[in-house]
Amino acid sequence: HGTTILAVRKGNEIVLAGDGQVSLGQTVIKSNARKVRRIGDGSVLAGFAGATADAQLHHDAHRSADRRE
């Protein structure tokens, strides 16, 4: 079991993709996690493992809420 992150480069173009499943043992916890994200100033693409991708989503949501206050 594990996260699959796939990168393909052709010339100056790159595609980065990942599965969207977060699981705990045999149980699927979430089926639509965003595991490929832009980080920093947006110029860096990164792939995250399932639980980390989910934690990043929660972190971003809290950060966004803090900015609105």
Could you read off the pLDDT tens digit of each residue along the chain, which spans 69 residues?
577 888 999 999 999 998 888 777 888 877 887 788 888 888 888 887 766 776 777 777 777 777 766
For residue 48, which amino acid is it?
F
Say if pTM beats, i.e. exceeds, 0.75. Answer: no
Q: Locate 50 and state its tokens.
A: 């399932």
Query: Would you name the residues annotated as active-site residues?
Result: 3
β-pairing verdict for 13-18 and 5-10: antiparallel
β-strand partners of 12: none
> How far is it, in rounded angstroms, from Cα 21 to Cα 16?
16
Q: Which helix (H) or strand (E) holds 15?
A: strand 13-18
Sequence-ordered alpha helix ranges (H) in 1-69? 50-68
